[in-house]
Chain A
């Protein structure tokens, strides 16, 4: 059976046998770096194409259909265009920060990739505080956005950056609370253990209605955190002309664009890991025959399948709902998501203590 775990172990032993320890470690760093970067590139291409197709079908359009087979090479062509485009820097901009900002956003997205388990024992860094690490690093991306907005020396960018900051900071609370409910249920912050705890069923099903509520809150909050419609006030084309990245062009713009999609992938991967069992195949309590059949599908396929399902849901939101106003946005967070999330957390804690979950 195809398994990423065996490949990674094979590569590791091969490296350790042929190289001294220090260089083996370096080679591993290099391999991981190349893999992450190429995963990002592929994700960018695939997700942009997916988004364009999904949006097209939802709006009764055809979407890209000329370049390559049924338009599949369209994003490749667009990327080439962005690569050769001139990257302008506005005159009054703070040049250093203007250049730095896209990298801050991108690097924080890359760091988030570290604790995500793609398959059984296939994980860059199985850090023991995985969930906390994720919420810590994801709060770094907002700095990049604020930096970009300020250094552009453009009032629309500044407004966009401020909106985005306010939004991310406030929705982080709800996202954190719903993540916390899974931490309470599984009793661990480590992502691999959280997945292991879902061996006999995913938390979404095992945790009854409170888990479902937590899941819904999580999805809403991460949609807001990734600045996507209906929460895209930060880049609202019609009012702020793309907000914090108004002044960006060429490769720097492409980095922001890529980081947005990478972030979507990451939050969906985290959602899939916490609520849908990550790479864990669909298991039902004690039906061992059924469980065995499910085990034949490799974990990486389960993982990517669930992640893309969530990505699709988030895209579905984007192409269905109109944009919220800033006061509606804050109302939603502080009057609805947060109180409901808190009460829900309480319910889940009671449930976990009494052992009502399966």
Chain B
């Protein structure tokens, strides 16, 4: 008898759990307002990207064309696929000392996996993730970008 009871119980539980699943999908099927698909590119203006979406690495600049990158290459070392190449130069400080500074921040978008490791590695919060994702170009070389702007310099007080 115990066997039979177990058997019926298994069948009952199986059927009820399957019905539960079907209830869920049935709910979605009849409630179209739950749909999360966005009709890109029709909705380009109203499109909402999730907060944590990562599109590319950028380096914010202030109005006076200053960034916070010291050229420490921590991000270059942190990157798992060699996406970042920091070219440094030596600048003379007002005291007459030589000091390492950023010359060019080369960023290979085509290699980047948007893993966020470089951003976490940066001691001065000089770079961050942006949400732009429309990266398609006709030539691969256009994906290699320089993140620091022409003539920019290090922000005062950032070490």
* B21 touching A60, Cβ below 8 Å: no
Cβ of B49 < 8 Å from any Cβ of A? no
Neighbouring B residues of A317 by C-beta, 8 Å: 22
Task: Report if A60-B11 is in contact (Cβ < 8 Å); known contacts: A316-B26, A320-B22, A320-B25.
Answer: no
Closest approach, in angstroms, between the C-beta of B71 and any C-beta of chain A? 46
Contacting B at CB under 8 A, from A303-358, are 316-317, 319-321, 336, 340
How distant is the Cα of A278 from the Cα of B84 in the complex, in angstroms? 68
Cβ of B46 < 8 Å from any Cβ of A? no
* B22 touching A62, Cβ below 8 Å: no
* A316 touching B11, Cβ below 8 Å: no
Contacting A at CB under 8 A, from B13-42, are 18, 21-22, 24-26, 28-29, 32, 34-37, 39
* A321 touching B35, Cβ below 8 Å: no
Please name the residue on chain B nearest to A313 by beta carbon.
Answer: B22
* Of the residues A57, A65, A336, contact of B39 by C-beta under 8 Å: A65
How distant is the Cα of A316 from the Cα of B29 in the complex, in angstroms? 9
* Of the residues B18, B28, B39, contact of A60 by C-beta under 8 Å: B28
* B22 touching A57, Cβ below 8 Å: no
Cβ of A169 < 8 Å from any Cβ of B? no
Task: Report if A60-B36 is in contact (Cβ < 8 Å); known contacts: A320-B21, A321-B18, A336-B11.
Answer: yes
How distant is the Cα of A317 from the Cα of B26 in the complex, in angstroms? 10
Q: Total interface residues on B, using CB and 8 Å? A: 15
Neighbouring A residues of B29 by C-beta, 8 Å: 54, 57-58, 316
Neighbouring B residues of A54 by C-beta, 8 Å: 29
* A60 touching B22, Cβ below 8 Å: no
How distant is the Cα of A57 from the Cα of B24 in the complex, in angstroms? 12
* B39 touching A316, Cβ below 8 Å: no
Per-position 1/0 for A55-66, Cβ under 8 A of B:
011111110010
* A321 touching B28, Cβ below 8 Å: no
Please name the residue on chain B nearest to A335 by beta carbon.
Answer: B7
How distant is the Cα of A207 from the Cα of B34 in the complex, in angstroms? 39
Contacting A at CB under 8 A, from B28-67, are 28-29, 32, 34-37, 39
* A60 touching B24, Cβ below 8 Å: no
* A58 touching B25, Cβ below 8 Å: yes
Closest approach, in angstroms, between the C-beta of B70 and any C-beta of chain A? 46
How distant is the Cα of A336 from the Cα of B8 in the complex, in angstroms? 10
How distant is the Cα of A65 from the Cα of B35 in the complex, in angstroms? 13
Neighbouring A residues of B21 by C-beta, 8 Å: 320-321
Please name the residue on chain A nearest to B35 by beta carbon.
Answer: A60
Neighbouring B residues of A340 by C-beta, 8 Å: 11
Neighbouring B residues of A336 by C-beta, 8 Å: 11
* B11 touching A59, Cβ below 8 Å: no
* A59 touching B28, Cβ below 8 Å: yes
Contacting B at CB under 8 A, from A27-44, are none
Closest approach, in angstroms, between the C-beta of B34 and any C-beta of chain A? 5
Task: Report if A60-B26 is in contact (Cβ < 8 Å); known contacts: A320-B21, A321-B18, A336-B11.
Answer: no
Neighbouring A residues of B32 by C-beta, 8 Å: 57
In this complex, which of A56, A320, A340 has the most chain B Cβ atoms within 10 angstroms of its Cβ? A320
* A319 touching B25, Cβ below 8 Å: yes
* A61 touching B37, Cβ below 8 Å: yes
* B28 touching A57, Cβ below 8 Å: yes
* B37 touching A62, Cβ below 8 Å: yes
Please name the residue on chain B nearest to A57 by beta carbon.
Answer: B29
Task: Report if A62-B25 is in contact (Cβ < 8 Å); known contacts: A321-B18, A336-B11.
Answer: no
Please name the residue on chain A nearest to B38 by beta carbon.
Answer: A62
Closest approach, in angstroms, between the C-beta of A105 and any C-beta of chain B? 29
How distant is the Cα of A321 from the Cα of B20 in the complex, in angstroms? 11
How distant is the Cα of A59 from the Cα of B31 in the complex, in angstroms? 11
Neighbouring B residues of A60 by C-beta, 8 Å: 28, 34-37
Closest approach, in angstroms, between the C-beta of A223 and any C-beta of chain B? 12
Please name the residue on chain A nearest to B19 by beta carbon.
Answer: A320
How distant is the Cα of A65 from the Cα of B43 in the complex, in angstroms? 14
How distant is the Cα of A9 from the Cα of B39 in the complex, in angstroms? 50
A-B CB proximity, top 7 nearest: A62-B37, A58-B25, A320-B25, A57-B29, A320-B21, A61-B37, A58-B29
Residues of B at the A interface (CB closer than 8 Å) are 11, 18, 21-22, 24-26, 28-29, 32, 34-37, 39
Query: What are 20 inter-chain pairs, A to B, with CB distance below 8 A?
Result: A56-B37, A57-B28, A57-B35, A58-B25, A59-B28, A60-B35, A60-B36, A60-B37, A61-B36, A62-B35, A62-B37, A62-B39, A65-B39, A316-B25, A316-B29, A317-B22, A320-B24, A320-B25, A321-B18, A340-B11
Residues of A at the B interface (CB closer than 8 Å) are 54, 56-62, 65, 316-317, 319-321, 336, 340
Other than A59-B28, A316-B29, give 7 A-B pairs with Cβ distance below 8 A. A57-B28, A57-B35, A60-B34, A60-B36, A62-B37, A316-B25, A321-B18
